[in-house]
Amino acid sequence: MKHIGKKTKRVDGLALVRGEPVFADDIRLKDLTYLKILRSPHAHAKILKIDSSEAMKLEGVIAVYTHEDFRRHYYTTAGQGYPEPSPRDTLLLDSKVRFVGDRVAIIVGETLEAAEEALGKIHVEYEILPALLDPEVALDNEVQLHGHDGLPGVTDVKRNIAAHLGAELGNVAQAAEESKYVFEREYSTPYAQQSHIEPHISLTWLDEHNRLVIRTATQVPFHVRRIVSEVVDYPIAKIRVIKPRIGGGFGSKQEILNEEVCAAVTLKTGRPARLEYTRAEELHAGRSRHPQKIKLKIGVNEDYTFRFIDLDILENAGAYGSHSLTVMSVTANKALALYKAPNIKVSGTAVYTNLFVAGAYRGYGAPQGFFPLESMVDEIAHDLGLDPIDLRHKNYVKEGDDVPIAKVLGEGKEGYPLVIYTSGMKECLEEGSKLIEWEELQKTSSEGIERRGVGVSICGQGSGIPGIDMGAAFIKMNEDGSFNLLAGATDLGTGSDTMLAQIAAEELEVPLDKMIVYSSDTDITPFDTGAYASSTTYISGGAVKKAAADLKQQILEMGKILLEVEEADIAEAYVTASDGRKISYGEICTKAFYTDSQRQLMAHASHMSYDSPPPFNATFADVVVDTETGIFKIKKIVSVTDAGQIINPQMAEGQVEGAIAQSLGFTHSEFMIADEKGAPINTDFFSYHIYTAIDMPEIVTRFVHTHEETGPFGAKAIAEIPINGPAPAIANAIFNACGVRIRNLPITPEKVFLELQKQKEVSLVNDKAGALSKDVDHAHS
Amino acid sequence: MRTDFILNGKSVQAEHKPGETALEILRRIEVYSVKRGCDYGECGSCTILLDGKAVNACLILGHQLADKKIETVESFGSTFSLHPLQEKFLDEGAVQCGYCTPGMILSAEALLRNEPNPSDKQIRDALAGNLCRCTGYVKPVKAVHS
């Protein structure tokens, strides 16, 4: 293959390295107004009165909008397909606030300064309500967050349950009786934030035809159009969403967080509106990873195969239920798809609390599930005296295996059957253990102050949401043999424009610079559900490949007409007759435009799939623990992935490397915390520490090759899977180093230190006991 | 108030309010490579070269630009040719979303002008003020090395 499996310069790279004005905010609009959101200082309160008269007296303040200015229409900010599986529990502005940071009022200013100044001049009277800051307390509490019956999609407002999940295959209770060993532990994962460097930014204006234009940093332009249309009650026909280059999203920009606010203001004032989140807003009023508490039980047979897995999830939804059901369902779906166990059970409850709102974040529930699962498999191996890799080899799903949980748990409804067509898991583990020097490190002594340890974890993910995700592409030909590829797929910094160009160029057998990619604009490009759920390569790439194949056939037919032959070959941008006469793509298109059998050669295609083949990954960590302080240093992470045929190895490596950096933060340095009143504590990058260049350990990234027949050129997904492995691999490595098991993320030095202290106390007691028994022995002798 | 400075080799007279930051001023005069990511000196997206030194434009007040030489990536390379660092960032796949890229290139340039053959540690120190959420810094560090 000419393009697939090869590194190439990004098609958008030139503009990016030159700092060209290609991002949402790099534009100057006449009469632009600047928006700020007045946010709640209270975790839970009723708004009794909003007095904005003082703010309105400020120079440059155009308007202050409150809940009284908009109709009460419930929607979800989740930015999902229709109908959304998330509860519709959100209003543009409400008379009640449910977390510190909830919207109270929208300020419209002639300048940003005027709008900012007005923030302090709006007087709000609140009736403060009891704040529920722990899902265990919030569940069945007499205080209700959403005291409104009949909210669509909310499982039980009276019990503060946003969503519920339950499934059982086989008989877990009976399997527990029959298992030789049963392990039961509890684990938890905290709030974490996506922390894309470009904040949320949207601009809206009415064009010369009074159509509402939304230029926004989004992963889901088509969902933005649909949801904004609904929220502001303006027809889809009169809305255009433009996605420029995006400065990262990682799930966070799947949310509709500012588009609807800008749109509502523009429709009220008739003027362009701009709303950009500050970093502090991102870190408390944006979106985050759902915290989960997981009770996990695994039953093991005499031959060390798993007899059952029982997963009990308590999820903190935060104040609104965005993605609360489906994240939990992915936790279960991915964790329970990794190992073969004839009996599996999951129950999950997502509870409203007066805390940060969670949402989609790379991995989407899978990191919350693999941390417990892969920690526990390590604990089982240790307790039974087995090599953790051997125990995994015995139990993970293999090619040809059926994965029954996929059928039971879909995207908020029943799913589709899943059979593993391809798996490189064995090779991932073998290659990774060589690269981390597993055998050697296993033997390192656990003596001394600094102790080195090694840990492993394995995981899977999906390739798009089966039966739901759909992408479309349109390709038209130009008279120099170049092509415009218009894709609904949204490149948010992932490199998908480049990857799609490679797929199209491969299929059409042309150089990559003949592909001119444009994505995505609801007026111009065809539909795509959006850049989430690891869907772009597999789903949108599938659409591009189909469209390119169709167009290639059309070019061949046109070539035959022009060469006046019945049969011809098409290869390397020429159509060639059997007598050797040939005609180039350029000539074919030129003739089709101007002289012969005139037409625009063009093709479009849509693609969806009931399959969602899992990529597989093995991650290894090499750590050193200082047993006097609990401070640990991550020396090296090895990540080996089977993502099928890699379309662009350099970009795929980049996906893995970036995911590892995020996961390292999730493991020990990134966690959103609130005080006893629910107010956020760490709302800047000094206190919410994401990895910098000097924090990074050595990263080794490898791919093992498989060929997934259902994917474009054999590809599976790569975007999310590498974020799942580091946290459990590091927890396991710390245990291997010093015998300390941390089951609650983040793994802070303090937690390690306290566990080490306990260990010392225990060993002191044992030593004393040992000394005593020796004395007794001596006495006897 | 008005502040005169040299921006990418050209004299600029910028009208601004007292207390406005260099980030605000530069973006207002459409130097869009200077990005806002945090506004308090932590993310490095607004990195500029101020008399050859990499600084965060959000922490520099307008009047502090007076008579200084400011460089941004707009002055790197030309329409038809790229600066070597821009080439390397592209070649090594060091650009993903590209939002932090102009700042990283400037921090790297400031380092390389003083230290043409930097060590891995020197590169990481130089880039430590440029937060990137996409790359894990593996390829940016490699790009500066090469």
For residue B128, being part of any structural domain is answered with yes
Q: What is the reported pLDDT for A781?
A: 38
SS3 A299: strand
Q: Inspect the interface and report whether the beta carbons of A650 and B45 lie closer than 8 Å.
A: no
Q: What would the CATH number be for the domain defined by A288-465+611-747?
A: 3.30.365.10
For residue B58, being part of any structural domain is answered with yes
Give the CA count within 13 Å in the CB-facing half-sphere of A257: 33
Which phi and psi angles does A467 have, rounded to 5°? 75, 0
Number of domains observed in the structure of chain B: 2
Contacts of A651 (CB under 8 A, 6+ apart): A7, A10, A494, A495, A498, A499, B93
Q: What is the reported pLDDT for A769?
A: 65
SS3 A615: coil
Q: Inspect the interface and report whether the beta carbons of A9 and B91 lie closer than 8 Å.
A: yes
Same domain as B119, residue B60: no
Separation between Cα atoms, residue A496 and residue A476, nearest integer Å: 19
> In which domain, by residue range, is B96 found?
84-145
Domain edge (last residue) among B50, B74, B98 = B74
Q: Inspect the interface and report whether the beta carbons of B97 and A245 lie closer than 8 Å.
A: yes
Looking at beta carbons, which residues of chain B come within 8 Å of A653? 93, 138-139
Q: What is the mean pLDDT of each run of 10 residues along chain A (781 residues)?
A: 95 97 97 98 98 98 98 96 96 98 98 98 98 98 88 92 96 98 98 98 98 98 98 98 98 97 98 98 98 98 98 98 97 97 97 98 98 98 97 98 92 89 98 97 83 97 96 98 97 97 98 97 97 96 98 98 97 96 98 97 98 97 97 98 98 98 98 98 97 98 98 98 98 96 98 95 74 48 38
Q: Buried b vs exposed e over A406-435: b needs ≥16 C-beta within 10 Å?
A: bbbbbbbeebbebebbbbbbbbbbbbbbeb
For residue B18, being part of any structural domain is answered with yes
CATH number at residue B133: 1.10.150.120
Distance from CA of B66 to the nearest CA of A (A): 23
Q: Inspect the interface and report whether the beta carbons of A9 and B138 lie closer than 8 Å.
A: no
**Contact status, residue A231 vs residue A264, Cβ threshold 8 Å:** yes
Give me the DSSP letters along A335-354. HHHHB--SEEEEEEEEEE-S
CATH number at residue B64: 3.10.20.30
For residue B79, being part of any structural domain is answered with no
Please work out, in degrees rounded to the nearest 5, the angle formed at the alpha carbon of residue A80 by the alpha carbons of A722 and A163.
85
Contacts of A497 (CB under 8 A, 6+ apart): A10, A11, A12, A487, A491, A517, A519
> Scanning the structure block, which residue is given the tokens 């969806």?
A608
**Contact status, residue A477 vs residue A602, Cβ threshold 8 Å:** yes
Distance from CA of A689 to the nearest CA of B (A): 10
Same domain as B65, residue B88: no
From the DSSP assignment, how many helices (H) and strands (E) are in chain A?
20, 28
Residues of chain B with pLDDT under 70: none
Q: What is the reported pLDDT for A777?
A: 43
Whole-angstrom CA distances from A345 to A161, A292, A297, A421 are: 20, 17, 10, 24
Separation between Cα atoms, residue A294 and residue A313, nearest integer Å: 5
Q: Which residue intervals of chain A bear CATH 3.30.365.10?
A: 288-465+611-747
Same domain as B66, residue B15: yes
Give the nearest chain A residue to B95 (CA atoms).
A13
Q: Which of A623, A102, A155, A670 has its CA nearest to residue A361?
A: A670
Which phi and psi angles does A98 have, rounded to 5°? -125, 0
Position A167: which residue type? A
Test mutation, B134, B137, B146, chain A, max A CBs within 10 A: B134
**Contact status, residue A322 vs residue A287, Cβ threshold 8 Å:** yes
Give me the DSSP letters along A338-404. HB--SEEEEEEEEEE-SSPPP---TTTTHHHHHHHHHHHHHHHHHHHT--HHHHHHHHB--TT-B-T
For residue B24, being part of any structural domain is answered with yes
Same domain as B43, residue B104: no
For residue B61, being part of any structural domain is answered with yes
Domain edge (last residue) among B74, B98, B132 = B74
Give me the DSSP letters along A452-468. EEEEEEEEE--SS-TTT
| Domain A26-130+194-285 fold | Aldehyde Oxidoreductase; domain 3 (3.90.1170)
Q: How many CB pairs under 8 A join A and B?
A: 177
Q: What is the reported pLDDT for A768?
A: 67
Give the nearest chain B residue to A20 (CA atoms).
B33
Q: Which residue intervals of chain A bear CATH 3.90.1170.50?
A: 26-130+194-285
Domain edge (last residue) among B34, B53, B74 = B74
User: Could you say which of B96, B125, B141 has the minimum Cβ distance to residue A654?
Assistant: B96
Residue A664, Cα to own-chain centre: how many angstroms? Answer: 16
Position B49: which residue type? L
For the question of whether the overall pTM of this predicted structure is more than 0.80, the answer is: yes
Separation between Cα atoms, residue B41 and residue B130, nearest integer Å: 10
B97 contact A CB<8A? yes
Looking at beta carbons, which residues of chain B come within 8 Å of A250? 133
Beta A273-276 vs A201-206: how paired, if at all?
antiparallel
Same domain as B18, residue B64: yes
Q: Inspect the interface and report whether the beta carbons of A245 and B128 lie closer than 8 Å.
A: no
